[in-house]
């Protein structure tokens, strides 16, 4: 894993706000696995992870803001 890579939201391929897609790119795994894991965590924590998702959607920059050439 490249520890110098920034965590961001993606625009292309985003289902809601692009947080899971950005996390998947950061971890270099399939976004579907991240989305399924996020859903499982949300169901097990009675919605806590949905609040974390909303906070990340508001606080994280979009990929085009970090890498305007892409």
DSSP 52: H
Residue 5 included in any domain: no
Domain span at 57: 19-63
Q: Dihedrals φ, ψ of 49, to 5°?
A: -70, -25
Q: How many domains does the chain have?
A: 1
Q: If you average pLDDT over residues 39-43, what whole number do you get?
A: 92
- pTM, 2 dp: 0.78
Burial class (CB in 10 A: 0-12, 13-18, 19+), 42: middle
Residue 70 included in any domain: no
DSSP 62: B
Residue 13 included in any domain: no
Residue 69 included in any domain: no
pLDDT given for residue 70 in this prediction: 64
> Considering the chain, what percentage of its residues have pLDDT values greater than 90?
34
Higher pLDDT, 19 or 70: 19
């Amino acid at each position: 894993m490249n520890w110098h890579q920034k965590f961001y939201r993606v625009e292309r391929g985003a289902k809601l706000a692009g947080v899971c897609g950005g996390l998947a790119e950061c971890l270099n795994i399939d976004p579907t696995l991240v989305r399924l894991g996020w859903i499982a965590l949300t169901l097990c924590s009675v919605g806590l992870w949905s609040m974390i998702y909303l906070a990340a959607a508001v606080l994280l920059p979009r990929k085009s803001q970090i890498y305007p050439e892409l």
